[in-house]
Structure 1
Amino acid sequence: MAGTVVFDLDGTLADTSGDLIAAANGCFRARGLGDLLDPVADALTAFHGGRAMLRLGYGRIGPDVLLPPGAEDKDYQRLLDHYADHIAVHTRLYPGVTEALQQLQDDGFLLTVCTNKPEGLAEMLLRELGIRGMFGGLIGADTLPVRKPDPRPYRAAVEAAGGEVAQSFLLGDTDTDRKTARAAGVRIALVSFGPEGQGISRLDPDAMLDRFADLPELARRWLG
């Protein structure tokens, strides 16, 4: 059976931080607080999720500003709505993604996505970026009752593409991805061009990927 390459989405296939930060700032502006997050300086927080961005912003408002009860839940839904309406304004695929995916397909590998982005938003974004059709499966944060680093979404993503977990590996950009791979008993490669850069090597992955052009060779080496 063909080997399967499993991809995280945000920070791995595409830099989505600009649109994520914009969605959070939209929530703050709706409360008259202005833009509390910086799209460059706060990019790393964007990849930790919507609630992490909201909390970072809340921490920057003055003590004289009191948020009403339930503000985070309301703003989180507002953030998701804003993001869905502006999902690919600033987002860009990392260089070489499309070419690498095509080469992997030509080499006979199966491709699938396992992300902690809600499934509907992940579907929407991959279609906007023009690469949804290259993946045989997609498992999002809400596809199953559990999410990464629980190994079940990873297994489901591999199975959705028609592959076997024992003949797969994960490409990601965070400690959550590393923990997911370890829990699933597979290898993990982390990208050095993601939000943390070369600093992500501190997690001691099985490999570091410096450019997408090197991914097909890594897949051949690991999956045969």
Structure 2
Amino acid sequence: MQTISTFIFDLDGTLVDSVPDLASALNKALTDVGIATFDEATIRNWVGNGAKVLVGRGLSGSAKHSTTVSSELVDHTFQRFLYHYELNVCRASTLYPNVYETLHALYAKGYTLALVTNKPKKFIAPILKAFKVDAFFSLFIGGDSLKEKKPSPLPLKHVIKTLNVDVNECIMVGDSKNDILAANAAGMRSVGLTYGYNYGEDIGAHNPNWVFDDFSRIVSITVD
């Protein structure tokens, strides 16, 4: 097995189930602009492409952004969403099972851990601190940190360059096709998790190197 030195994790749908707080913020923003709200189960299927896309889907009432929704309305509603989400960024969100224990185990074994998410960067640290996992990470990249976000490989390439590691030593871990597509484009191996936000699609269809139902299985690909 090739040497592994670095694990790069997605956040929402991989480490944290953030839908309860995202749904609450979205519905409050929609109410602010006079648009009907949606139940959490519906919003859950819209998460995964970044906060602004989520807002656009809420305004459209569909996973596909409607061309009848103006960019001005999206921008205004997005600012309302950010306001509400910042007030309640980690009120009802939860870590998925075995996440804390697995991150701790990898960190204790000496692996470098990084985080690449499409979520705005300012929300990352408060979430990691709330779950007491912030100390495990050497670097985190938000959706607004660079000029491109996943599924572009740019954030992963940025991590490789910043940490001065070889792409062959890195593993991307995520729950959606954007994570796997970014890894494939970067020439990086990947783990696809089945329990997150992937729009009802089979994560295995995007050809990750491993597919796991349980976060703790990640340890099985390491070498003691």
Answer yes or no: is the 8 Å Cα contact 2:150–2:182 preserved in 1: yes
- Kindly provide the amino acid, as one letter, of the partner of residue 45 in structure 1: W
The question of 1:105 aligning with 2:107 is answered: yes
Partners of 2:40 and 2:106 lie apart in 1 by 32
- Kindly provide the amino acid, as one letter, of the partner of residue 93 in structure 2: T
* More divergent stretch after superposition (25-34 vs 205-214): 25-34
Change (3 A) 1:141 1:213: same
Answer yes or no: is the 8 Å Cα contact 1:192–1:198 preserved in 2: no
Change (3 A) 1:211 1:69: closer
CA RMSD for the aligned pairs? 2.4
User: Which residue of the partner structure matches residue 65 of structure 2?
Assistant: none
Give, in angstroms, the shift of residue 161 of structure 1.
Answer: 4.4
Partners of 1:198 and 1:180 lie apart in 2 by 17
Answer yes or no: is the 8 Å Cα contact 2:121–2:142 preserved in 1: yes
Answer yes or no: is the 8 Å Cα contact 1:24–1:50 preserved in 2: no
Change (3 A) 1:31 1:100: same
Give, in angstroms, the shift of residue 146 of structure 1.
Answer: 2.1
User: Which residue of the partner structure matches residue 146 of structure 2?
Assistant: 144
* More divergent stretch after superposition (148-157 vs 203-212): 148-157
User: Which residue of the partner structure matches residue 22 of structure 2?
Assistant: 20
Give, in angstroms, the shift of residue 50 of structure 1.
Answer: 2.6
User: Which residue of the partner structure matches residue 210 of structure 1?
Assistant: 213
Which secondary structure state, in structure 2, belongs to the residue aligned with residue 113 of structure 1?
Answer: strand
The 5 Å alignment of 1:125-164 reads 125-161=127-163, 163-164=165-166
2:203 maps to which of 186, 192, 200: 200
Partners of 1:68 and 1:148 lie apart in 2 by 24
- Kindly provide the amino acid, as one letter, of the partner of residue 189 in structure 1: V
Answer yes or no: is the 8 Å Cα contact 2:6–2:111 preserved in 1: yes
Answer yes or no: is the 8 Å Cα contact 2:151–2:181 preserved in 1: yes
Deviation track 1:31-88 (CA, whole Å, cap 9, x = no partner) reads 2334x22112320202233333333333349xxxx98871111111111121111100
Answer yes or no: is the 8 Å Cα contact 2:51–2:119 preserved in 1: no
* Same amino acid, percent of matched pairs: 28
Partners of 2:113 and 2:27 lie apart in 1 by 34
Answer yes or no: is the 8 Å Cα contact 1:5–1:219 preserved in 2: no
Specify every segment of 5 or more residues in structure 1 that has no aligned partner in the other structure, as ranges.
none
Partners of 1:95 and 1:14 lie apart in 2 by 9
2:73 maps to which of 67, 71, 76: 71
* More divergent stretch after superposition (110-119 vs 140-149): 140-149
Answer yes or no: is the 8 Å Cα contact 2:7–2:113 preserved in 1: yes
Give, in angstroms, the shift of residue 215 of structure 1.
Answer: 1.0
User: Which residue of the partner structure matches residue 52 of structure 1?
Assistant: 53
Answer yes or no: is the 8 Å Cα contact 1:111–1:161 preserved in 2: no
User: What's the TM-score once normalised by structure 2's chain length?
Assistant: 0.86
Deviation track 1:148-200 (CA, whole Å, cap 9, x = no partner) reads 22222112224444533221110011111111101110111111111247832
Change (3 A) 1:201 1:142: same
Partners of 2:54 and 2:144 lie apart in 1 by 19
Partners of 2:69 and 2:100 lie apart in 1 by 44
Which secondary structure state, in structure 1, belongs to the residue aligned with residue 145 of structure 2?
Answer: coil
User: How many residues are aligned here?
Assistant: 216
Give, in angstroms, the shift of residue 116 of structure 1.
Answer: 1.1
Partners of 2:166 and 2:207 lie apart in 1 by 25
